[in-house]
Structure formats: C-alpha cells, structure tokens
C-alpha cells in the first residue's frame, strides 16, 4: 500500500510539473518579443515562436545549435559574443544592450538585448535567458523625425531671415514713397491740379496698403517661428489692453462693447493679444452703416475630460471664447474662405483691409492646439468661436 501511495504521489507530481511546463511554454510563445534559452556552452536549448517568425529560421535549425553558427553564422555578432561571454564569466545581467546588425535574409536590424543567467536547483547547469526586441522601425522613425526637425529649423531660420529683410528692405521704399508723396502734396499740390492730386492720393493709399500687407505677412510668419513659452494669461486683462489700444476707433464707430467672464489659460500672451485685437478689429471694419455696432465677448470653461482624477492638473481641459457682432455678416457657404490668406468677401472700397486678419487668428489658434470657427447670417452679424486648451501638457513636464 505504501508503494502504491508513493507511485500515486509521484504521478501527481509529474502531472503538476507537466502542467506547469505547458503553462510556461504557452506564456513564452504568446510573447511578441523573440526569446532564446542558451546553455552554458551558448548552445540554443529552445526558442519561442516569435524568434522563429522574426528571424526566419526553423526549430530544427535552431535547437542545440551554437548561437554563433545559427543561420550560416548570421548570429556571429561581436557585440553579442561580448555580451554572452561577460554573463558566463561574471553572472551579471544586461538591460537594453543595443546592437545593429545586417542579416543576409532579413536585412539590417537594430535590436535591444536583455540577458540574465538562470540558476537552477539540484545542481543542474545554469541557463541564459536572452530576449530580443526589434526596434528597427522605432529608430527609423526617430531618425526621420530628427531629419524633419532639422529641416523645420532650417525653414524657420530662412523664414526669420526673410522677415528681417521684409521688415527693412521692403518697407523702406514704401516709407520713401509716403515721404515724397507728402512733399509733393505740400509743395506742388496746386500745380498738380485736381486730377494730379487724386493720382497722388491713390499712390499714397497703395503704399499704405502695401505696408499693412507686409506687416500682416510678417505677423503670420512670426506665429510659426515664435519660441515664446506658454505662460498663464488672463484673457480679461489682455482684452482690457486691446480695448485701450483701439479706444479711438471704438469711439469713432460708436461701438457698444459687452464683456463677460474671461478665463485664464496657458498661452503666448502676445499672440493672445493679437488674436483678440484682430477679432475686435474685424467687428469694427464690418459693422453696418445704418446701425451702431454691438460686440459681445465672453468665455467659459468646457469642463473636465471624462476619467480624469479629481484634483489632478487640468491637462485636457478646454475653454471657449465667443466674439459676437451685429455687423454685415457673410454667407456661410464661404466659411472655408474667410480664414485663408488674402481672401476677401467684400470689395476694398466697401471695407478696408488686407484679407489677413482672420488667417492670422487661425494660425495663432492652431499654434495653441485649438480650433476656430464661425456662424453668420448676411445682414445680421457673425459669431466667432475659439476653443483653446486651458493647460498645455508640455508646460506640465
């Protein structure tokens, strides 16, 4: 009876061991990373399916083969040999040991190797567990991103150079046209006659328009190349400064301004000022001549993203700023045009401008990771909706 009991216990132990082995093999074979188990002589004891699939070898070719001879010596990699020999002699483990190697069958690969020595009970020889992560695509993506970043930096440098040239070399002739035009009007106005004075005034107006256009183009270029970090900006304070700057135009137009609550967000303060100024200036330009202009500006937080823990930094929260006017409005079928460069829906003799103001607004909003849209009815006014992040994640890091 004791013998039978002993045999039964042995069988149960063997069954348990077999189940554990099957369970372990199943886990290893479901891993996406290639795995190898080597003996002390650096021969391959076993490998998982990912290894066979990734490196295009079979079980028969792999098991019991010295790793350096595998696949016609494809794995005779000096860095790998150094790694394994160090483990054999010192029993240290390695993490993220990067190796570049060109395989005849699958091409160049960049791999991260993790290796450690497995000590076993009962005096059995130890083994080496080697995991291989193929990071070739990651390194290629990083290299492509680095190239794009360098190209973008060169492009921005060229743009900055152009902006510097435009600021001086393009505007200087226009300033001279304005100066000499004023001299002609003052000293020779009577001799020019009515027709000559009209031509002179047209020339001066054209020079002024060109100056404004160059100024707007420079503003557009500087939005892209700005290196100003986002800082907390009180939009209510920004709006007060904008209203102060436009005080004369507001009084001349008889504009009624109604300001509601405005949030504080992380942003580029100068660009927020330009954004609100352009929107308010747009309302001043396109008001109806038969009715006093009314502009309403207010903002609100749009709530907390679902799943964000209470009390955590407000990354992901957004706010909306709405600018409403009772101006001339526009047909919404032209909505895709109003935020583009040089697009005008009205003749210059009706409403002055370069067609750049709303394009600049769009670029500012996009730089801040937001969106701008509009609703309008001809003859009844327009509403501009700007959605912006409250906090930018890079500023939290």
Q: Is 320 exposed, middle or buried (CB count within 10 Å of its CB: 0-12, 13-18, 19+)?
A: middle
Q: Which of 270, 277, 275 minimizes the C-alpha distance to 231?
A: 270
Q: Look at the block and give the residue holding tokens 């190796």.
A: 99
- The C-alpha angle 388, 277, 269, rounded to 5 degrees, equals 55
pLDDT along the chain (397 residues), means of 10: 55 51 54 85 89 88 90 87 85 84 87 85 80 90 90 76 68 78 80 81 78 71 72 94 88 90 92 91 83 91 60 69 89 78 52 69 90 88 92 59
Name 300's bridge partners: 320
**Cβ contact 300:339 at 8 Å:** no
Q: Which residues contact 360 (CB under 8 A, 6 or more apart)?
A: 216, 219, 220, 223, 274, 275, 278
Q: How would you classify the pairing of strands 264-267 and 231-234?
A: antiparallel
Q: Is 130 exposed, middle or buried (CB count within 10 Å of its CB: 0-12, 13-18, 19+)?
A: buried
3-state class of 174 per DSSP? Answer: helix
Give me the pLDDT at residue 16, please: 53
Which DSSP symbol is given to 126? P
Report how far residue 172's alpha carbon sits from residue 161's, in angstroms, rounded to the nearest whole number: 16
Report how far residue 113's alpha carbon sits from residue 135's, in angstroms, rounded to the nearest whole number: 10
Give me the pLDDT at residue 396, please: 40
Name the H helices within the chain. 2-30, 49-55, 59-62, 70-73, 78-90, 136-165, 171-225, 235-245, 247-253, 269-285, 335-338, 357-367, 393-396
Task: Choose which CATH entry (3.90.380.10, 3.40.50.2300, 3.30.40.230, 3.30.450.20) describes domain 31-134.
Answer: 3.30.450.20
Cα-Cα end-to-end distance for the chain: 71
Which DSSP symbol is given to 89? H
Name 47's bridge partners: 36
Domain spanning 136-225 has what CATH number? 1.10.287
**Dihedral angle at the C-alpha atoms of 45, 49, 50, 53, nearest 10 degrees?**
110
**Cβ contact 202:240 at 8 Å:** no
Query: Which phi and psi (to 5°) does residue 264 adopt?
Result: -105, 130
| Helical axes 171-225 vs 136-165, angle rounded to 10° | 160
pTM over 0.75: no
- In this structure, how many other beta carbons lie within 10 angstroms of the beta carbon of residue 134? 18
Show me where the domains of the chain are located. 31-134, 136-225, 229-304+316-397
Exposure string (b/e) for 203-217, b if CB count within 10 Å is 16 or more? ebeebeebbebbebb
Name 323's bridge partners: 297, 384
Q: Which of 86, 129, 138 minimizes the C-alpha distance to 109?
A: 138
Report how far residue 67's alpha carbon sits from residue 65's, in angstroms, rounded to the nearest whole number: 6
**Cβ contact 294:255 at 8 Å:** yes
Q: Does domain 229-304+316-397 bear CATH number 3.90.550.10?
A: no
Which DSSP symbol is given to 299? E
Report how far residue 183's alpha carbon sits from residue 17's, in angstroms, rounded to the nearest whole number: 104
């Amino acid at each position: 009876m004791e013998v039978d009991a002993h045999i039964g216990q042995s069988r149960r132990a063997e069954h348990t061991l077999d189940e554990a082995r099957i369970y372990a093999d199943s886990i290893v074979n479901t891993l996406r990373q290639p795995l190898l188990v080597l003996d002390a002589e650096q021969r391959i004891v076993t490998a998982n399916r990912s290894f066979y699939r990734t490196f295009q070898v079979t079980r028969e070719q792999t098991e019991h083969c010295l790793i350096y001879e595998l696949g016609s010596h494809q794995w005779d990699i000096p860095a790998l040999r150094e790694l394994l020999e160090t483990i054999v002699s010192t029993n240290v483990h390695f993490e993220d040991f990067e190796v570049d190697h060109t395989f005849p069958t699958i091409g160049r690969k960049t791999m991260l190797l993790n290796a450690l020595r497995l000590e076993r009970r009962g005096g059995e020889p130890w083994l080496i567990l080697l995991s291989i992560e193929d990071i070739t695509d990651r390194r290629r993506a990083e290299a492509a991103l680095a190239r794009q970043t360098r190209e973008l930096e060169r492009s921005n440098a060229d743009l900055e150079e152009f902006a510097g040239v435009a600021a001086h070399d393009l505007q200087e002739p226009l300033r001279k046209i304005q100066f000499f035009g004023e001299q002609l009007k003052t000293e020779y106005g009577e001799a020019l006659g009515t027709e000559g004075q009209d031509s002179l005034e047209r020339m001066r107006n054209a020079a002024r328009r060109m100056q404004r256009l160059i100024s707007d183009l420079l503003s557009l270029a500087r939005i892209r190349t700005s290196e100003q970090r986002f800082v907390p900006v009180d939009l209510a304070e920004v709006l007060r400064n904008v209203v102060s700057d436009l005080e004369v135009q507001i009084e001349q137009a008889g504009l009624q301004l109604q300001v509601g609550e405005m949030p504080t967000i992380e942003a580029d303060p100068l660009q927020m000022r330009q954004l609100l100024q352009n929107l308010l200036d747009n309302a001043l330009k396109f008001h109806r001549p038969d009715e006093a202009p009314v502009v309403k500006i207010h903002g609100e937080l749009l709530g907390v993203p679902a799943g964000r823990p209470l009390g955590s930094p407000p990354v992901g929260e957004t706010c909306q700023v709405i600018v409403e006017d009772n101006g001339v409005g526009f047909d919404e079928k032209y909505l895709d045009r109003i935020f583009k460069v040089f697009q005008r829906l009205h003749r210059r003799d009706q409403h002055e401008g370069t067609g750049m103001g709303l394009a600049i607004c769009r670029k500012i909003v996009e730089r801040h990771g937001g969106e701008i849209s509009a609703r309008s009815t001809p003859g009844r006014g327009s509403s501009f909706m700007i959605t912006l992040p409250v906090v930018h994640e890079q500023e939290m890091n």
